[in-house]
Amino acid sequence: MEKEQLKQQVKEQIIKFLNLNNLKPEDINDEEPLFGDGLGLDSIDSIELIVMLSREYGINIQDPKEGRKVLTTVNTMVDYIEQHRTK
């Protein structure tokens, strides 16, 4: 899958898993922080995203420090998915 295609898919999945019904994929900037000032996600959302990576891409993040780096932006998520996906 092309990187741009994967980005689009990840954004759609973020919206679906986190019930961000008022957002469209194009509203999410690739470099925008997912937590804090950007999308304003919180700790419960981080669990949802980790579960999303596991269910959709077969990626199991065990180390919280690693999770923090992976879930920084859409770009960091996509890079990690490309390198570690098992499905």
Partner 1 sequence: MFIHQHICISPQHTSGDVDLDVLNPSANGQLTAIEPELTGVPAGLLRRMSKAVRMGIGAGLPILQQNKVDGIIVGTANGGMNDCIKFLNQIIDYDEGMLTPGNFVQSTPNAIAGQLSLITKNQQYNATHVHLGLSFENSLIDAQMHLKEKAEGNYLVGAVDEISSYNYNIDLLAGWYSQNIENQSFYQSKLPATIAGEGAAMFLLNNNAYDALARVKDIETFHASDIETVKARFKIFAEAQNLDSETTIFLTGENGDIRFNPFYHSCEAIINDITVARFKHLSGEYPTAVSFAVWLSVFALQNKKLPGHLFKTENNLSQLNNIIIYNNYHGLQHSFISITSN
How many residues line the site for partner 1 (CB under 8 A)? 17
We find the least distance from the C-beta atom of residue 77 to partner 1, in angstroms, to be 17
Question: Tell me, what DSSP letter sits at residue 27?
Answer: G
Scan residues 14-43 and list those touching partner 1 (CB under 8 A).
17-22, 40-42
Residues 6+ apart with CB under 8 A from 5: none
Q: Rounded to whole angstroms, how far apart are CA atoms 22 and 85?
A: 29
Closer to partner 1 by CB, 5 or 44: give it. Answer: 44
Closer to partner 1 by CB, 40 or 69: give it. Answer: 40
We find the least distance from the C-beta atom of residue 3 to partner 1, in angstroms, to be 26
Please answer whether residues 61 and 67 qualify as being in contact, where contact means their C-beta atoms are separated by less than 8 angstroms: yes
